[in-house]
Amino acid sequence: MRRWIGGLAIFLFAVGVAAAQEWKVPDKARAMKNPVAKTAGIADAKAAYEKNCMLCHGVTGKGDGPAAAAINPKPKNFGDKTVLSQSDGEFFWKITEGRGLMPGWKTLPEQVRWGLVNYVRSLGGQK
């Protein structure tokens, strides 16, 4: 049991270190254009956000969800200028691939993931 707990502690430390580093997105992904209109599929995107993202990122996308207190580093505030300056392709790639404690959401349909890009931007104050 003690060995298992020690292994878990090392794993969580490694995940935290990896997540604290810059999250680099491949150039090809960064250049991807969002094929979903900003207003299309917003209900599906909101439902996906509430089911899969809100626990950590919070109701309004400020990184203050109920699970955020236990996460290091903390989830990003979608209104932060470093977040808002990212391309749609960067958002889409990060949603798809995940990193550290944030799972990748490849299981969500592509249209829903692109809709999440729009929804996340709306939470950050971009229209």
pTM: 0.80
Query: Residue 114: is its pLDDT beyond 70?
Result: yes
Q: At a CB cut-off of 8 Å and minimum separation 6, what does 44 contact?
A: 111, 112, 115
Domains along the chain?
2-123 (1.10.760.10)
Report the SS3 class of residue 35. Answer: coil
The two tokens of residue 18 are 């990896």
Pick the closest to residue 117 from 31, 60, 54, 35 (CA basis). 35
Task: For residues 15-31, give the mean pLDDT.
Answer: 75
Token digits for 88? Answer: 């749609």
Q: Could you tell me if 49 and 120 are in contact, meaning their C-beta atoms sit under 8 angstroms apart?
A: yes
Contact (Cβ atoms closer than 8 angstroms) between residue 36 and residue 118: yes
**How far apart are alpha carbons 93 and 105 in whole angstroms?**
10
What tens digit of pLDDT does each residue of 84-98 get? 999 999 999 999 999
d(CA 18, CA 38): 32
pLDDT tens-place string over residues 31-85: 999 999 888 878 999 999 999 999 999 999 999 999 999 998 899 999 999 999 9
| Confidence tier at 19 by pLDDT (50, 70, 90) | very low
